[in-house]
Structures are given as structure tokens and as C-alpha cells.
């Protein structure tokens, strides 16, 4: 495994490589990230992982500063997975603050994380575009846990004609059902027992939707149940997998999404299903 910090050095190293499978991360890697690496390795392409904590996708400085940084441990994990290249640029090299790439997201105002985290997805798109311009991968591998992010990145790459195939990987979960996340390490001990409730309530939606009189009735029921157990809910919603908007009456492929705070930690999750 080769660790590269400079853009020019990276360019020289990948110049003769025909196809690259790329996994963008912010580090603090867990088994969910490693599942993406294994998917990339199955393609028999050069596997490149980036580690960069992208300041412009955070909504406040405290959240950015508290994000776990575990580079030494991350590199050990990636070496065990036989990753070819780990790209670890610094903020100056990526120049995200003074050179912001814009993408009109007005047509994709879904009222989900975009509503509660203004500028977040613009920050995500800006760094993804930067990485794709530098690396020019054939494949981009992302997880389904960040469902709206995955949807928007696919839309962006398609609209700007990037010759990149996006491959999605199912959410990796703890035995309890809790979706693996770099933020899980920030959950207070007193909240660990109720953290799996997020996925339990999504499973409830999947199982009981047909019994309810409307989408809003089951959304309100789940939100109320979470609130009663100490969660601060941002949204519980059922959307179309195709558009991520409220589904039409004849749509069958749906996704239930939730975002909620457990103490000071914001967690998101989702579950796809057909009716």
C-alpha cells in the first residue's frame, strides 16, 4: 500500500493506470468503510481511498473540530485490506474554502438533510468533484447509509457527464441493528441502549405501512415513539426511491428515512422496501 499526500505525486503514480475504483472517506474508518473497500477490490481495479475531513460540508466549527481523526489506525486497517493507494491531502492542497465548486441543488430540495444542514451538500459536491477531477476514477463506491448524499452525487455526476459508474453498498450494521457510523464513537454511554431504536422504528415502518391509513400517520407515530424515548427528531419520512420526493400513489419502491439527535449526536438511517 502506498500513502500519498501530494496531488502531483498522486498524478504521476496513477498516470499509467487504466481504471481506478475510488472510495472517498473522512477517516475514522469502521467495517462499513471496509465493506466499500472490499466491493472495490472485487472489481479487480486499482483501489484508491482518500482520507480528508472536508470542512465545508460541516455546518458549524464545533462539529468539524470534534470529528474523530484516527489516521494511524485507519492506515493499518486499509493495509490489511490490500488497498493500493491512500490519498491524504491537506486543506491547502484541496483549496475548498477559496475555490468553491457550485452545483444548483434547487431542483433537489427534498426537505431532508438539505433543510437542516444548509450548504452541506454543496460542500459534499465540491469535494467529490475535486477528487474526481484529480483521480479520474472509473468507479466511485459509496454506502447507502447516507442515502440523500448518494442520490445527489449520482445526479451531479450524470448531469456533468462524468464517465464514472457509481456503485452503492448496503449499510453495514452492528449486531444491535445500529448503522455503523464514524459518529457512533461520540454517543454517550447512557444512550447506547436506545441507539438501535432508530433502525427498529424503520423496520416497523417497512412491516406495518400497509396497515396504516396514510404515510403521514405512520411517520407521526414513529416520530412520537422516538421523542418519547429521548430522541430529538428532525424528520421521519417515506419517499420514492426514484425521485426521493413524496411518492405518487402508484409507486411501489419506497425508502423510509430518519434523522434524529441522541444527546448531542446526530444520527441518520434508512431502509428500502417495496409494497
Q: Residue 161 pairs with which residues in a beta bridge?
A: none
C-alpha cell at 75: 492506515
40-68 burial, b for 16+ CB within 10 Å, e for fewer?
bbebebbbbbbbbbbbbbbeeeeeeeebe
Q: Residue 181: which region, alpha, beta or left (left: phi > 0; alpha: psi -120 to 50)?
A: beta
Q: How far apart are CA 81 and CA 126, in angstroms?
A: 28
d(CA 28, CA 53): 10
pLDDT at residue number 119: 81
Which is catalytic among the residues 8, 30, 33, 191?
33
Residue 120 to residue 59: CA distance in whole angstroms: 7
Looking from the CA of 112 toward its CB, the CA atoms found within 13 Å total 27
Q: Does the annotation mark 120 as catalytic?
A: no
Please give the Cα distance from 29 to 181 (Å, whole number). Answer: 9
Q: How many residues does the chain have?
A: 275
CATH topology of domain 182-274: 3.30.1300
Residue intervals in the chain for CATH 3.40.50.620: 2-169
DSSP-assigned beta bridge partners for residue 139 = 21, 165
User: Going residue by residue through the chain (275 aa), what tens digit of pLDDT does each one get?
Assistant: 999 999 989 988 887 777 999 999 999 999 999 999 999 999 999 999 999 999 888 888 888 888 889 999 999 999 999 999 999 999 888 875 555 556 667 677 898 988 888 888 888 998 999 999 999 999 999 999 999 999 999 999 998 899 999 999 999 999 999 999 988 988 999 999 999 999 999 999 999 998 777 899 999 999 999 999 999 999 999 999 999 999 998 899 999 999 999 999 999 999 999 98
| Region(s) of the chain under CATH 3.30.1300.10 | 182-274
- Please give the class, per CATH, of domain 2-169: alpha beta
Amino acid at each position: 500500500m502506498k500513502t500519498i499526500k501530494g496531488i502531483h505525486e498522486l498524478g504521476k503514480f496513477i498516470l499509467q493506470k487504466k481504471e481506478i475504483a475510488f472510495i472517498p472517506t473522512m477517516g475514522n474508518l469502521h467495517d462499513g468503510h471496509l465493506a466499500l473497500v472490499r466491493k472495490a477490490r472485487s472489481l479487480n481495479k486499482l483501489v484508491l481511498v482518500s482520507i480528508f475531513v472536508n470542512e465545508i460540508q460541516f455546518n458549524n466549527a464545533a462539529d468539524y473540530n470534534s470529528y474523530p481523526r484516527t489516521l494511524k489506525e485507519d492506515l493499518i486497517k486499509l493495509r490489511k485490506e490490500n488497498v493500493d493507494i491512500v490519498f491524504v491531502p491537506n486543506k491547502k492542497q484541496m483549496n475548498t474554502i477559496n475555490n468553491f465548486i457550485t452545483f444548483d441543488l434547487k431542483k433537489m430540495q427534498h426537505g431532508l438533510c438539505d433543510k437542516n444542514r444548509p450548504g452541506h451538500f454543496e460542500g459534499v459536491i465540491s469535494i467529490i468533484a475535486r477528487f474526481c477531477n484529480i483521480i479520474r476514477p472509473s468507479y466511485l463506491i459509496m454506502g447507502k447509509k447516507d442515502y440523500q448524499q448518494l442520490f445527489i452525487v449520482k445526479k451531479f455526476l450524470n448531469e456533468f457527464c462524468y464517465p464514472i459508474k457509481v456503485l452503492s453498498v448496503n449499510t453495514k450494521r452492528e449486531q444491535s441493528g445500529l448503522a455503523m457510523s464514524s459518529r457512533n464513537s461520540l454517543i454517550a454511554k447512557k444512550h447506547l441502549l436506545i441507539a438501535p431504536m432508530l433502525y427498529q422504528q424503520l423496520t416497523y415502518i417497512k412491516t406495518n405501512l400497509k396497515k396504516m391509513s396514510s404515510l403521514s400517520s405512520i411517520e407521526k407515530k414513529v416520530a412520537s415513539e422516538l421523542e418519547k424515548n429521548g430522541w430529538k427528531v428532525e424528520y421521519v419520512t417515506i419517499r420514492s426511491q426514484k425521485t426521493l420526493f413524496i411518492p405518487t400513489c402508484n409507486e411501489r419502491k419506497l425508502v423510509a428515512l430518519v434523522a434524529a439527535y441522541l444527546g448531542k449526536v446526530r444520527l441518520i438511517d434508512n431502509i428500502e422496501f417495496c409494497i
